[in-house]
Amino acid sequence: MDKAITQKLLEDLKHPDPSVRDYATQEFWRAWFEQKGVLGLEVIRRAQMLVEMGDQSGAESILTQLIEAQPDFAEAWNRRAVLYYIMGHYRQAIADCEQVIALNPIHFGALHGLGLCYSALGEYRMALQAFNRVLEIQPHSIENQRWLLECMAKLT
């Protein structure tokens, strides 16, 4: 994604109008999923279908192969992190989220996932750091605000 477009979308995520924020969010997701073109997107879709059919190990295998073939495909790492989170493999999900963030520091989905994983592990200070980071990018995100407050409450 072009730097000027990225910067504009980042600004739009902070816009007071929810429709502007929603459009920016959708555009980021579209760009992230389509980063590697039709082939990468198709593999991600196939993995999601396997998850929906209950074949988590098949989905993991497909995503791992995609990551090995295209290690700079941040969304492939993110999809596997989501899968690991669903499976309750929080440490593996954290490792994948961190890889996503290394590749794409503004990936609010991976930052959110990082917070969810740390929260699930009872590591609320780490979860707070993740939710604070995602709120720097998406300050109007009610879900992340709620998670931040829940983690703060568990620390008191």
Give the pLDDT confidence of 101-140 residue by residue, as tens digits.
Answer: 999 999 999 999 999 999 999 999 999 999 999 999 999 9
Given this model, what pLDDT does residue 36 score? Answer: 95
| pLDDT < 70 regions, the chain | none
pTM value?
0.95
Given this model, what pLDDT does residue 156 score? Answer: 81
Task: Give dist(CA 119, CA 60) in Å, integer.
Answer: 23
The tokens describing 95, both together, are 């490792």
Given this model, what pLDDT does residue 78 score? Answer: 98
Given this model, what pLDDT does residue 18 score? Answer: 97
Q: What is the DSSP letter of 17?
A: S
Domains detected in the chain: 105-156 (1.25.40.10)
Given this model, what pLDDT does residue 1 score? Answer: 78
The tokens describing 136, both together, are 């720097």
Q: What is the mean pLDDT of the chain?
A: 97
What is the chain's alpha carbon radius of gyration, rounded to the nearest angstrom? 16
Q: Which amino acid is at 10?
A: L
Cα–Cα distances (Å) from 25 to 3, 28, 30, 97, 103, in that order, read 16, 5, 9, 18, 18
